């Protein structure tokens, strides 16, 4: 893309309404192709990966304009290779960064050239992708798939404190899950695991049903989701979710799309997800 930025839009913005602020410019250290962003409500911080320079950037929650990050994790000790998705545990103050078949865990307040405080490894043939954390039950959820051959995704559920070659506590995966090839995004909200299926995945199990689906962190095996919300069509084309986040206060889910529809942010009501979990 021509212009790296983090644009902040008012919740009720619609159409071509301009963002209320932008984080942009050389000072920000931002690059293009940010495939993760986390807003840490407890500490009022924004955390993003910087894949080109192998770094994790943390900004003030109110950052605006050409503002430097307040912390940067970066350097030879970090073991960062191609940081892409990440998750933040604001309760236990940790940042989780999957890299191939490992999850690197950093102290949230780490800065500079620091080693991870622990590393979780799975077998070499598994590629870990998108993490989520449930601090109340000390659970780490990571989407993953075999790196060769079979492409179906699974959701691996670990003890949050797992390290080394620890095995998952349980795994959700299989044809009934319809996880397919491409888990576009994953969030853990209380004990729900919320996952985006994408249309442009190489072989979504159910291409007629591009959706955000929900499992419990207690689920296990080849189980279909508890909820699956189809995001409908815009101008006759199924919505292709690239990413999403949750707005618990307004019982909504906010979806970002790149191609279908092009360069858009959509908000959906999803009260079922938040019922009884405030």
In the complex, minimum distance from the CB of residue 47 to other proteins, in angstroms, rounded to a whole number: 9
In the complex, minimum distance from the CB of residue 136 to other proteins, in angstroms, rounded to a whole number: 18
Tell me the per-residue interface mask from 87 to 126 with other proteins, x by CB under 8 A, - otherwise. ------------x-------------x--------xx--x
Name which position in 119, 228, 240, 277 contacts other proteins (CB under 8 A): 228
- Within 19-48, the residues that bind other proteins by CB under 8 A are 19-20, 22, 24-26, 29-39, 41, 44, 46, 48
Burial (CB < 10 A; 0-12, 13-18, 19+), residue 65, is exposed
* Cβ distance to other proteins smaller for residue 100 or 109: 100
Rounded Cα distance, 233 and 169, in Å? 37
Using rule CB under 8 A, residue 1 touches other proteins: yes
Rounded Cα distance, 21 and 269, in Å? 25
Which residues lie closer than 8 Å to 116 by C-beta, 6 or more apart?
A: 78, 79, 104, 105, 106
* Cβ distance to other proteins smaller for residue 90 or 94: 90
Q: Residue 91: how many CB atoms within 10 A of its CB?
A: 14
CB 6 within 8 A of CB 30: yes
In the complex, minimum distance from the CB of residue 142 to other proteins, in angstroms, rounded to a whole number: 12
In the complex, minimum distance from the CB of residue 92 to other proteins, in angstroms, rounded to a whole number: 19
- Within 244-263, the residues that bind other proteins by CB under 8 A are 244-249, 252, 254-259, 261-263
Using rule CB under 8 A, residue 226 touches other proteins: yes
Tell me the per-residue interface mask from 153 to 192 with other proteins, x by CB under 8 A, - otherwise. -x-x----------xxxxxxxxxx--------x-------
Stretch that binds other proteins, among 89-97, 133-141, 242-250 (CB under 8 A): 242-250
How far apart, in Å, are the Cα atoms of 114 and each of 70, 77, 104? 16, 5, 11
Q: β-pairing, 192-197 with 243-247?
A: unpaired
Using rule CB under 8 A, residue 70 touches other proteins: no
Using rule CB under 8 A, residue 7 touches other proteins: yes
In the complex, minimum distance from the CB of residue 93 to other proteins, in angstroms, rounded to a whole number: 18
Using rule CB under 8 A, residue 274 touches other proteins: no
Q: Which two tokens stand for residue 32?
A: 């293009």
The neighbouring-strand residues paired with 56 are 49, 73
CB 194 within 8 A of CB 187: yes
Cα radius of gyration rounded to whole Å, the chain:
18
């Amino acid at each position: 893309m021509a212009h790296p930025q983090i644009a902040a839009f008012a919740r009720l913005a619609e159409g071509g309404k301009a963002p209320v602020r932008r984080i942009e410019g050389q000072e920000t250290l931002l690059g293009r192709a940010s495939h993760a962003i986390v807003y840490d409500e407890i500490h009022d911080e924004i955390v993003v990966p910087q894949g080109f320079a192998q770094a994790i950037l943390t900004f003030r929650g109110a950052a605006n304009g050409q503002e430097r990050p307040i912390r940067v994790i970066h350097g030879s000790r970090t073991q960062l290779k191609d940081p892409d998705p990440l998750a933040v545990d604001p309760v236990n103050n940790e940042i989780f960064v999957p890299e191939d078949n490992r999850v690197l865990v950093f102290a949230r307040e780490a800065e500079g050239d620091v080693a991870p405080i622990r590393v979780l490894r799975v077998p070499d043939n598994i590629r870990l992708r998108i993490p989520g954390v449930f601090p109340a039950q000390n659970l780490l959820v990571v989407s993953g798939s075999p790196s060769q051959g079979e492409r179906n995704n699974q959701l691996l559920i670990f003890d949050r404190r797992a390290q080394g070659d620890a095995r998952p506590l349980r795994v959700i995966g299989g044809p009934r899950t319809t996880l397919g090839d491409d888990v576009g995004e994953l969030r853990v909200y209380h004990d729900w695991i919320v996952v985006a299926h994408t249309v442009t995945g190489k072989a979504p199990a159910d291409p007629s049903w591009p959706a955000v689906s929900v499992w419990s962190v207690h689920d296990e095996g080849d189980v279909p989701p508890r909820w699956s919300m189809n995001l409908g069509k815009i101008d006759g084309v199924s919505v292709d979710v690239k990413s999403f986040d949750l707005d618990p206060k307004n019982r909504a889910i906010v979806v970002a799309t790149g191609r279908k529809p092009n360069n858009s942010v959509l908000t959906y009501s999803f009260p079922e997800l938040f019922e009884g979990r405030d």
